[in-house]
Amino acid sequence: MGQSVVHQKYKLSVVSGGKLVLPRASNRSCCNKSVTLLTRDETCVVVPFNNQIKVYSLETSQCVKTLKFANNAVLSRLFLGADAASICDLALGDLTLAEGGTADGAHSDDTFDFSVITSVGDVVVLNYKGKLADEPKVIQLGTLQPNEQVVKLFRFGGRVSVLTSEAETSATYTYRIYSYDNSERKLSERKRFEHVLLSAWSSNDKFLCLLAKGQNSKKVLYLEDIHDQIDSKTLPLPSIASASASSNAHFATVMALDHQGSQLAVGYASGVINVINLTDQSTRLLKWHIDSVLSLCFTSDGTYLLSGGWEKVLSFWQLSTNLQQFLPRLNGVVVDCNILHDKFYSLGLQFADNQSNSDYQLLLLNSTDLKSRIAISGPLCVFQTAVRDVVYPVSAVSSKASASSADLQKANKKQQRKLLKRRRQDFSSVFEIQPSTKHLYFPHTSAVQIFDFYKNEQIHYQYLASGLNNSMGKVRSELNLKDPVIADVKFTKDGNWMISYEVEYPPEGLLSSNDFSHVLKFWRMSASGEWELQTKVLSPHGLKTPITSILVAPRSVNNSLGCLTSDNNGGLKYWSFDEVLNNWALSKVAVPSVNHFSNSVELAWSLDGSLIFHAFDDKVTVIEFAAFKKFYEDSAKALNEFTMDSAIQSIMLVNDSNLIVATQTSLNSINLLLGVVESSFDLYPFVNGVYKNGHASRLISCDEKNGRVALVVNHKTLDAEGRPTLNYASHVLVFNSDLSQKLGAFEHDEYISCIRWNFDTDFIFLDTKNRLGVVSTTTSPEMLDEVDKEGALDQLASNEFEIELQKLTRAQKAQGLEPETDEKEEALLDFINGDKSGKLINMNSFTSMFENIENVQMDTLFDRVMKVIT
Amino acid sequence: MPSISQPFRLTALPKIASLNNYATQGNYLQVADTLTPTTNNINVGVSGSAVSQYIINPTPKLVYNQPISSTNVVSACAVAEITTTSEKDSQEVICYGIQSNRVYSLCATIKPVSSTASDSSFGETYAAHKVSVSDQIVNLKVFPDTKSIVAVLRSGLIQFFDFELKLQHSLDSSYKNVSYVQHFTSESGQRYTFLLSDIDGHKVSFKLFEIGQSDSATPATELSSVILENMCLKDSQIFYQFGQVYRLHGNAVSIYNLPHFQHSRTIELPFLAPESIISFKPISTNRALLTSDNKIFLLDLLHNAILSQREMGHVKIFQLLETAVIPGNSTLNNKTIALGVSIKHGSNPSSSLDIINIDVGTGTLRDSMGKGFMSRENKSQHLQPLISTLNDTEAAEFNYDRILKELSKAADNIENFDSVFFKRLGIKNNYYTDSDRFVNDREFLEDVSTLIFKSFKSEYPKALTYLLTNPLFPVSHTHNLLQKLKDHPRLFKQAIVTCPNLLLDELVQELFTVINDELCLDLSLRILQDFNKDSIKEAIKQKSKIDVNNFINFVISENFEEDRIKNKPRLFQLLSLVLDSVGLFALENEMLEKLTKYIDQQLSVVKENVELYNLVEEKNFKNGFGQPLGDTSTSGEPVITAYSIEQLEL
């Protein structure tokens, strides 16, 4: 431990994660929310994320290419940063080319170009196959109003029109249609619509329909042929309900227009769909939805209407017969549906139970069998409080997970002002890393999402608690029912067991509404790769008592098949797996205090299993595990208690000798062998009052192998005048085991909500944009000469000795038989290490290579390897 | 818990000068490395005297003695039991290397095993052999299964003999001046040995050999050979245990990992007095025994802690000769013994062999807590800013030593003291606030508290009031604190309300003696806040003579103070704990009656309340208010009546 000649450096990179975006979801007036692009050969689909564009193969349902914004200077300028633009539309082909007289057909099929249209009117040309140019083509379509955003770009017969919108109030928008002159690169405004409530266009880019508030608050429909300015119609929206009916019956939530511009479907918050024949203005009502209709779409021949809503069911209406077919049990609320080239249905699903974030999943279904499907989503995270720009789908009733017609009128600005003033800025989240597979587990309402960081794909989504939302959607007042929430998951050190803690909520409005029930569940990994429930413990710490912390036993205790749970009253329980009963059982109990409640509870366990450190409020109590009692209880002189300056947020035992204690005011390192505080840092400006008690521990992690500590500090960024803004930045600090040395300090441009050690050499973090980053070490060659000193604490060290010894014996025996033939090997090593010794290569150098490895050609792989090495 | 017990004598050593000289006695006494925690036999080759065998139990006794010439120096000794089938009595072979001037020889004696004190095989031998060898024997090891004796000579020769001392094999390790040899067995049972020899220019050669286990195999195969720079064996104490080699040089221990002899770490031992006579021996995983003059230490070299230590007042110098090494990782296998030699005080020194019983503990953090010996590096105790680049960071550093000096100067005057204290530390209020977090040096706070209690007796400065509100109030001063502050009601109350780490014992004591209702309430709340039921009961039980009447009267007295009413449930909790621990029958009749009456009264109040509640509820229900009383939400959300069905509107 003394002298350390360690040549390890950390670096931070944001490499994975990302949120699937439905670009127009934040614009309530747009009925087509998602943007997906089917490639020309119909084998792949291009899907935009908030940090990258992904290309999925429809045949193998796997991602074949990712275009990361951060890897390209042009893209990162356009799409990253606090106030950067977002993707709003994708189009095949190169829009910047002067198309002149030659129409669509002129495009040769062998170009893989596609154009990305941004919300501020830039067009970037990218390609979905082959290598991405370092400097993609970017053009500006034209100048827009300050608040104006591009909604959609229409192309028909070589003519390009651009639809933009500008928010008037939170419910009404001004839409403008521009025609784009490619030779002059200019937009000329052609038409303008004010007070637009809804907009829809036919999927062949030909017709546009706008629902607007006309005079006397009468709703008016504008029907436009986008490219032909003459053919436009204005007609009043046929009323379907009497004036006395509730507002939901009048509140149109979604519209769809068919290819011929002859049929218009309007969905209402009450669940009714009105299909209007635009030629004779006859109407008919389709009633099946119980809550708001959220998405509508006609098939290209106009014979079927697809509709979706809160029920998590996609409904097919045969318009000639009014017969219905259903595709039930979808993962989320159907907020968008689209038909891609008549072959695929693309559904935008929202996990509406997560109120802190808009979690979308894109589901692509083959229209012939509806079975072959691709589900696309990023990591699904639940934050402590709702992050910015969360969009709740509209429902007939107002609830925490939905907006109602009345909510839309509320000003957004007030909310923002409140956010600015509030001291508490707790957007923390929780995820755990499974030690053996290194998968990330995101507790997501009643389920966990299992996510592969290196492939950047969801592996599995498994419900851990039985709730209403597992199989069907909640509608209307059901939305106020809260499903059980997975609050925490942990894994035993061997990764074979998962421990989940869930909270069940009684219905609201009752005397018992605050009597949450708590469940502890122990899951075993089954052969089929699913977690199987082995033991379920109801109210593990007694009725209504929450579990504040779960700590899995170190390997030295019952081979890590044990865990500690603590409550908010100072109680502590030890659960262990009993091989004979084949069940988890309560083994040891320490009684709670009488009257002291706190959520600042943290646990730490020495590697050898002998001592437990129980932090409760501002005290760390040392507990002897064998006796499950305070260490030297009777002796006042013994080192069995530490009182800190304020409520403890996190404790970690590093290298079995230092206890890192983070309180609301300071970060301290206590040397347990001497019993003194060795170094302390001021956490007060960053932690006190910012996080809910106990949540700061989500932002501290410790590398158990070498005792390094990573700490995240979030803060608001200031604008030019020094006033706080709603944007956040963060710092990640890496310390050595006793905090005496700062090994790295990094900045990140977004609020980091959780950081965890990946059971290797790196720390993985999650930010509020669902992006995943890594703070990793790069190991330099000198490092290898010396054995890791701090590894001396590794309990397995003695086995290593035996292994080494056997190796030596074998080597000696082999030597007699075989002459030295490893010249070749050396030559190879020389080649790799050779003159490139200045460049550091470690495990993470190749991380990006292994995403989507399945569909990569050999030469591409080789190319990637060479790129990293050279 | 790890401990070292008082040594007991095995035997006194003959009065030969070299045996009573601390510098040489270690080399002149060769103990066979057969020591185990349960062993009863100890074999010692005493130079110039005899090769002897002792038993420890029931009482230390010599059971076998083979005298040797007074000029002979024993340089190595080994013993092993031989498995024989032909004879009833088990046999053992004792072999030892002897140096007599420039003549070196190896002796082997086969004799019956004498395991008990009553065995009368004294001096009986079956066979004795002697053979001369070319150099001093550094190490001897007997392998009974292959019937071989392995002798390592200083010249670097590894020689294999049978029990008749016929040379079977000889192998040159090619480095002269071998000074340390260690045999060990791997988990798979394979035998290894390694040699360390000094080479010119402060270098050391390390050679690892595998020892053949059958007659057909090559007797020894070299596995690895390492030359270590900047190392000298002469001034080092070396031992091997569990795959690691420990080397003490000066006051530092270097640890090397086998089989490649990689340096893993170096630990300074700051407590070692310079010029002291040191011996260093293995004892258990990551633990070692160290003697320095007449002190013996049990060290944990993983946690860098002194697990236990003992000073032997009756001897001048104690040195370890041999220890029984055990894994020591559970409470079942942590008792072991060590053999040492001690020199008595006095002009005519006499020495004796002593045995120490040792409990090595479990090698866990539990044993090492708070016993670390590493000197603290002079680290800054200041609360450092986390990110120095952020512009809104505030920081304050205090020169604690200087402030303390100023305070002690002002210690005769309360006002001066307070002004220095508050001004120097930048404390604005006379209670702790978050902005005082920069005053975080625990030692300083302790020193200041000591100073206050030392300098002021009748009246205390405001600084004490402040300190009592500080969460870092030194634990050492909480003992007897309440007693000290008894005459200062304000401070007394302050301590009860805010001072951390008050002892339960003292709080309970005060609870039953204080008559003031307000303080009684504070004390009750404080006790319930800090401690759990079991410990409260335990503490009350331990108080032998207490008068609980006072407390019971306090609880059941009619009082309509808001605080009291609010905390009534808690007071009842404490009352029930008190009654539980003293037992109802400890109360006098009168008190019991009073209590019963009070409880009856409370019960009737509860009954009344329940009835009233029912009435109100019924009334509400009739009026059509479905909402329960507890619900005070004013969110304006329409309340959906239970089991209603909202009609689908068109």
At A257-272, the pLDDT tens digits run: 998 888 999 999 989 9
Mean of pLDDT over chain A: 83
The percentage of chain B sitting over the pLDDT mark of 90, rounded to a whole number, equals 13
Q: CB A657 to CB B364 under 8 A?
A: no
Rounded Cα distance, A20 and A358, in Å: 10
Residue range B491-520: mean pLDDT, rounded: 88
List the Cα angle A647/A572/A610 in 5-degree steps: 95
Give a yes or no: residue A344 inside a domain: yes
A392 and A322 within one domain: yes
Q: CB B384 to CB A680 under 8 A?
A: yes
pLDDT tens-digit series, residues A42-83: 888 999 998 889 999 888 888 888 888 888 888 888 888 767
Is residue A449 scored above 90 in pLDDT?
A: yes
Q: Residue count of chain B, please give it.
A: 650
Q: Which residue has the tokens 């003291």?
A: B417
**Minimal Cα distance from B641: which residue of A?**
A509
Q: Which of A101-115, A465-479, B26-40 has the lowest mean pLDDT?
A: A101-115
What pLDDT is stored for residue A82 in this prediction?
67
**In chain B, where the domains are located:** 32-172, 400-598
Specify whether the CB–CB gap between A809 and B210 falls below 8 A: yes
Residues in chain A closer than 8 A to B221 (CB atoms): 812
Residue to test with chain B: of A594, A658, A734, most B Cβ within 10 A: A594
Is residue A108 scored above 60 in pLDDT?
A: no
Give a yes or no: residue A562 inside a domain: yes
What pLDDT is stored for residue A433 in this prediction?
94
Helix, strand, or coil (residue B519) = helix
What pLDDT is stored for residue B634 in this prediction?
45
The percentage of chain B sitting over the pLDDT mark of 70, rounded to a whole number, equals 90
List the Cα angle B56/B58/B64 in 5-degree steps: 50
Count up the domains in chain A and report the number.
2
Confidence of residue B501 (pLDDT cuts 50, 70, 90): confident
Token pair for B145: 């299964």
The percentage of chain A sitting over the pLDDT mark of 70, rounded to a whole number, equals 87
Minimum-distance CB partner of B434 among A671, A678, A688: A688
Chain A residues 546-575 within an 8 A CB cutoff of chain B: 570
Tell me the shortest Cα–Cα distance from A707 to chain B, in angstroms.
14
A582 and A490 within one domain: yes
Residue to test with chain B: of A290, A665, A668, A673, most B Cβ within 10 A: A673
Residues in chain A closer than 8 A to B524 (CB atoms): none
Q: CB A594 to CB B384 under 8 A?
A: no
Give a yes or no: residue A124 inside a domain: no
A344 and A450 within one domain: no
Is residue A788 scored above 50 in pLDDT?
A: no
Helix, strand, or coil (residue B384) = strand
Residues in chain A closer than 8 A to B529 (CB atoms): 593-596
Residues in chain B closer than 8 A to A681 (CB atoms): 383-386
A357 and A437 within one domain: no
A433 and A493 within one domain: yes
Confidence of residue A146 (pLDDT cuts 50, 70, 90): confident
Residue to test with chain B: of A573, A706, A805, A813, most B Cβ within 10 A: A805
Rounded Cα distance, B358 and B348, in Å: 30
A435 and A392 within one domain: no
Q: CB B500 to CB A1 under 8 A?
A: no
What pLDDT is stored for residue A408 in this prediction?
64
Q: CB A595 to CB B187 under 8 A?
A: no
pLDDT tens-digit series, residues A803-819: 777 777 777 666 655 44
**Minimal Cα distance from A668: which residue of B?**
B383
- Residue A332: which domain range? 259-371+386-416
Tell me the shortest Cα–Cα distance from B367 to chain A, in angstroms.
9
Q: E strands along A183-251, which residues?
A: 186-201, 207-213, 219-225, 232-236
Could you tell me the CATH number of the domain that includes residue A336? 2.130.10.10
Q: CB A608 to CB B362 under 8 A?
A: yes
> What's B32-172's CATH class?
mainly beta
A533 and A467 within one domain: yes
Give a yes or no: residue A144 inside a domain: no
Token pair for B615: 């009435």
Handedness of CA A491, A492, A496, A498 (dihedral sign): negative
Is residue A285 scored above 60 in pLDDT?
A: yes
pLDDT tens-digit series, residues A311-332: 999 999 999 888 999 998 888 8
What pLDDT is stored for residue A824 in this prediction?
46
**Minimal Cα distance from B524: which residue of A?**
A595
Residue to test with chain A: of B469, B532, B633, most A Cβ within 10 A: B532
Confidence of residue B87 (pLDDT cuts 50, 70, 90): low
A399 and A453 within one domain: no
Specify whether the CB–CB gap between B136 and B75 falls below 8 A: yes
pLDDT tens-digit series, residues B359-376: 988 888 888 888 888 776
Token pair for B308: 């236990």
A245 in reach of chain B (CB within 8 A): yes
What pLDDT is stored for residue A846 in this prediction?
66
What pLDDT is stored for residue B393 in this prediction?
60
Give a yes or no: residue A839 inside a domain: no
Give a yes or no: residue A108 inside a domain: no
Confidence of residue A840 (pLDDT cuts 50, 70, 90): low
Confidence of residue A372 (pLDDT cuts 50, 70, 90): confident
Residue range B438-446: mean pLDDT, rounded: 86
Nearest to A485 by CA among A508, A461, A469, A509: A469
Q: Is the peptide bond before B259 cis (omega within 30 degrees of 0)?
A: yes
Residue range A850-868: mean pLDDT, rounded: 67
Q: CB B532 to CB A646 under 8 A?
A: no
Give a yes or no: residue A693 inside a domain: no
pLDDT tens-digit series, residues A396-413: 888 877 787 776 666 566
Tell me how many residue pairs between chain A and chain B have CB atoms under 8 A apart. Answer: 243
A586 in reach of chain B (CB within 8 A): no
Q: Which of A87-91, A864-868, B556-560 has the lowest mean pLDDT?
A: A864-868
How far is CA B592 from each of CA A12, B555, B605, rounded to the nearest angstrom?
A: 71, 14, 20
Is residue B434 scored above 60 in pLDDT?
A: yes
The percentage of chain A sitting over the pLDDT mark of 90, rounded to a whole number, equals 28
Q: CB B265 to CB A2 under 8 A?
A: yes
Residues in chain B closer than 8 A to A513 (CB atoms): 631
Residues in chain B closer than 8 A to A644 (CB atoms): 471
Confidence of residue A4 (pLDDT cuts 50, 70, 90): very low
Residue range A207-229: mean pLDDT, rounded: 85
What pLDDT is stored for residue B646 in this prediction?
47
Minimum-distance CB partner of A801 among B255, B258, B529: B258
pLDDT tens-digit series, residues B405-433: 988 888 888 888 888 888 888 888 888 88
**Minimal Cα distance from B443: which residue of A?**
A676
Minimum-distance CB partner of B369 among A607, A672, A679: A672
Mean of pLDDT over chain B: 84
Nearest to A181 by CA among A95, A117, A89: A95
Specify whether the CB–CB gap between B373 and B351 falls below 8 A: no
DSSP line for A130-181: SPPPSS--EEE-----TT-EEEEEEEETTEEEEEEEEESSSS-EEEEEEEEE
Rounded Cα distance, B355 and B341, in Å: 9
Specify whether the CB–CB gap between A197 and A212 falls below 8 A: yes
pLDDT tens-digit series, residues A761-784: 889 999 998 999 998 876 443 333
Q: CB B367 to CB A610 under 8 A?
A: yes
A452 and A395 within one domain: no
A536 in reach of chain B (CB within 8 A): no
**Minimal Cα distance from A611: which residue of B?**
B366
Confidence of residue A587 (pLDDT cuts 50, 70, 90): very high
Residues in chain B closer than 8 A to A638 (CB atoms): 369-370
What pLDDT is stored for residue A534 in this prediction?
92
Give a yes or no: residue A564 inside a domain: yes
Chain B residues 123-162 within an 8 A CB cutoff of chain A: none
B179 in reach of chain A (CB within 8 A): no
Q: Residue count of chain A, please give it.
A: 870
Q: CB B630 to CB A676 under 8 A?
A: no
Chain B residues 388-417 within an 8 A CB cutoff of chain A: 390, 392-395
Is residue A295 scored above 90 in pLDDT?
A: yes
A433 and A312 within one domain: no
A589 and A472 within one domain: yes
Q: CB A240 to CB B650 under 8 A?
A: yes
Nearest to B141 by CA among B153, B150, B131, B129: B150
Tell me what ipTM this predicted complex has: 0.85
A402 and A269 within one domain: yes
List the Cα angle A131/A132/A138 in 5-degree steps: 155
Chain B residues 547-606 within an 8 A CB cutoff of chain A: 570, 573
Minimum-distance CB partner of A610 among B190, B285, B362: B362
B472 in reach of chain A (CB within 8 A): yes
**Residue B384 CB neighbour total at 10 angstroms:** 18
Tell me the shortest Cα–Cα distance from A456 to chain B, in angstroms.
32
A638 in reach of chain B (CB within 8 A): yes
Residue range B165-183: mean pLDDT, rounded: 86
Quick one: B457 exposed, middle or buried, by C-beta within 10 A (0-12, 13-18, 19+)?
A: exposed
Tell me the shortest Cα–Cα distance from A790 to chain B, in angstroms.
9
